[in-house]
Amino acid sequence: MPADAEQQKADLALMQAVATGDKAAVAQLYDRFESLVYRMAVQALPTREEAEDAVQEIFVRLWRTSSRYDPTRAALVTWVMLISRRYLVDRLRRARTSLKGAPLDERLAPAKAGREGRDGLGESISAETRERFGSLMKRVEELPELQRTVIIRAYLNGQTLRQIGEELNTPLGTIKSALSRALMRLRERDMNEGLSA
């Protein structure tokens, strides 16, 4: 049996075991994909705490949908990334709906004096979270135009990279490169700010 077929069979067996609530299978799924899911969440969300919460929610979704996994349609890693991306897009859309009416300068400085609780992010979100989100949006605004556009459309508007490429009349490879470079720049800024703090 070819290696790919063996892997498909093993992945299907794992997901079937997860669907039955097998704790060892759930632990194996978590061990295998937790770092990937966490990296996606950290890149998409404004704080590490939100990313950690998102990881837990994503694994609950993976468990709930495990019986629908079909290895002939997608590799397990692809399926995990798809479920993760859908969750993160949904989460960002929910956050964004509360931001829609605000002008961009208000969105970029949500923790300014006099705006606490009225900045569209809701009173339940801490001032620190609003400040971090504002800081992240400022860094996004400093990106080159294509990178900024791709980040906003992919993570805030929930568009696929293919949709973005079609709307911008830009090759998919260019869109993927722009996203990759943008995320790298944002991570580098985050690391540099962490070191200087």
Confidence (pLDDT) at 105: 47
pLDDT in 10s for each residue of the chain, 197 residues: 565 788 889 999 999 999 998 999 999 999 999 999 999 998 888 888 888 989 999 999 999 999 999 988 888 999 999 999 999 988 888 776 644 444 444 444 444 444 444 444 444 456 677 777 777 788 888 888 888 888 888 877 778 888 888 888 888 888 888 888 888 888 776 666 554 44
36 burial level (CB within 10 Å; 0-12, 13-18, 19+): middle
Confidence (pLDDT) at 1: 53
Confidence (pLDDT) at 187: 79
pTM for the whole structure: 0.50
Task: Give the number of other Cβ atoms within 10 Å of residue 43's Cβ.
Answer: 18
CATH-assigned architecture of domain 1-97 = Orthogonal Bundle (1.10)
Sign of the Cα pseudo-torsion (47, 49, 53, 59, in order): positive
Confidence (pLDDT) at 13: 94
89 neighbors 71 (Cβ within 8 angstroms): no
Contact residues for 2 (Cβ-Cβ < 8 A; gap 6+): none
Domain extents in the chain: 1-97
